[in-house]
Amino acid sequence: MGTATRRRVRKEYEGALRCLAPYERRIIEMRLGLLDDQEHDVKDVAEQMHLTVDQVQFIEIRALRKLRWGHGTADAADSPGTEPRNQRGTSESEATLVTKGQDDKS
């Protein structure tokens, strides 16, 4: 993705990214190069965030789904493929994966 395109994407998605949990936002920003104009591969993101590659891929897919289906809105609970979320905006399976990954890295 070129620098001009990346800037445009960042501008368009700044508001949308606010509906994501901080770790989801960081993964999307790193993967798309929105932070430093450099796209990071899944392995790099996993190492920097102390997660497994599978966890990063899972969280990235969920975050993109949130963005696509507008999970920051009241209608989000009715969108396909969603799980109930806790007060921090994390589903039970996401919380389990993140916790498990932290335990594995210790």
pLDDT in tens, 3-28: 788 777 767 777 778 889 999 999 99
Cβ-count burial of 66 within 10 angstroms (0-12 exposed, 13-18 middle, 19+ buried)?
A: buried
**Total count of domains within the chain:** 1
Domain span at residue 35 reads 3-105
User: For residue 57, which of 13, 16, 97 has the smallest C-alpha distance?
Assistant: 97
82 compared with 51, residue with greater pLDDT: 51
Per-residue pLDDT at 102: 55
Q: Report which listed range, 8-17, 30-39, 50-59, 60-69, is most confident.
A: 50-59
**Residues 5-11: contacts with CB under 8 Å, at least 24 apart:** 6/32, 6/33, 6/34, 6/37, 9/34, 10/34
10 compared with 73, residue with greater pLDDT: 10
Give me the residues paired with residue 91 across strands: 85
Specify whether the CB–CB gap between 33 and 40 falls below 8 A. Answer: yes
pLDDT tens, residue by residue, 82-91: 455 555 555 5
